[in-house]
Amino acid sequence: MARLAPWGLVLALLLACGTAHADTGKQFNAETFTLANGLQVVVVENHRAPIATQMIWYKVGSADEPRGKTGIAHFLEHLMFRGTKETPPGAFSRIVAQNGGRENAFTTADYTGFFQNVAADRLDLVMRLEAERMADLVINDTVVLPEREVILEERRTRIDNNPTALLNEQVNAALFLHHPYRNPIIGWEHEMHELGTADALTFYRTWYAPNNAVLVVAGDVTVAGVRALAEKYYGPIPSRALPERRRVGEPPKVAAARLVMKSARVGEPTWSRSYLAPSYAAGAKQYAYALQVLAEVVGGGSTARLYRALVLDKGLALNAGSFYNPNALDYGVFGWYATPQKGVAIADLEAAVEAEIKKVLTDGVTAEEVERAKRRMQPQAVYARDSLDGPARVIGEGLATGRSLDEIETWPQHIGAVTLDDVNAAARSVIHDDTAVTAVLLPEPTS
């Protein structure tokens, strides 16, 4: 039912919303208002089909968990489907399905989200159901203990049996020395075993309140219609005193780390290098847009530097690229990855990547590369505008991590304003191999 949102989700969504909507300078022409209880509501009208998406975003994630309780944010996401005073366990998903809709949820380090896609005339129904579990969740040992076995099995299936996921877990733990981003969203297994009803109820009563949430409704709706439904169903839920959202900071990194993992389940080796980076909200955030352009220039596809050099020119790699997550409440992560061609040693591949990155730091990228990258990034918003989920996800994610609606709407203009000097300065600011985390995943012979 529930799923964990990957680090790369943010970048994929952002790159899916490039140019501004015609005549307004905005991507989505979203309108927003706030209820008396503090719930922010955003409406994106799209009348191409009689469908609506409701997404509720709570400003809490795994990085807000109490010490020793890793996994409770994701566990509560599961338990939100286990019944309310009005709707018995299992009925939520069944009712949505019976009405031709689909629904799911996701947990990240910074937020937790729930969504339903339904026919527009069923928005009233799903808004009632979602408001019920914001206010009236009912959980006890009868539902909590079996669901705990579900999340433990999810960890075994998705993490413990997946060498790439296991190594990524270790990379985060090495990259973040102190900040809770070092903990897995699903939780460390030994702590997951100890999560109970009291832990879930405390987390729910602390964070799940209208004044700690953003409601985004997109599709064949009107602002007036959404306002009336929101006032009817969410309006009566009282606001709640919220604790300060405090996270520990990171001490200075003074050493690089290298992780090597071997597994018989690995089909082909992989290599990556990760760096701590600013986000939209934290650190040297003036570089956030430039780092997106840098990621596109160096590793954004088959025309980017790494792919051209390692795959097309030298034939050393099967693929190569970059990753960057700017949409975090605290630190971002920036880096490179590559998969060697059969018979190519990891050391040779690594040396080739390092040579390309050294060129970036020594000579800089070119003005032509920057302009091409921006032109590739911006036009994709035409497709995002036509989608229901795309605008709702981008807006909800941005608002849940501290950005304003205006910043989100004008993303293409911010990308367009990035200069060559910005990109080169961002590269020099972030790329420091003496504090990076390098990860190598290798096949291990079974005999």
Catalytic positions, please?
A: 77
- Please answer whether residues 12 and 323 qualify as being in contact, where contact means their C-beta atoms are separated by less than 8 angstroms: no
| Assigned token pair, 193 | 């075993």
DSSP 253-274: P-S-EEEEEEETT-SS-EEEEE
**Angle 153-155-157 from CA coordinates, rounded to 5°:** 70
In angstroms, the Cα distances linking 19 to 26, 303, 405 are: 8, 21, 16
Which residue in 317, 258, 264, 319 sits closest to 443, CA to CA?
264
CA atoms within 13 A on the CB side of 140: 6
Distance CA 96, CA 293 (A): 40
| Distance in angstroms between the alpha carbons of the first and the last residue of the chain | 38
Which residue in 358, 369, 368 sits closest to 336, CA to CA?
358
Exposed/middle/buried for 255, CB within 10 Å: 0-12, 13-18, 19+?
Answer: exposed
DSSP 110-148: S-EEEEEEEEGGGHHHHHHHHHHHHH-B---HHHHHHHH
Distance CA 192, CA 75 (A): 9
Max distance between CA atoms of the chain, in angstroms, equals 67
Angle between helices 72-79 and 197-207 (to 10 degrees): 90
> Which strands make up the sheet holding 437-443, listed edge to edge?
257-263, 437-443, 270-277, 332-340, 317-324
Sequence letter at residue 346: I
Distance CA 324, CA 310 (A): 20
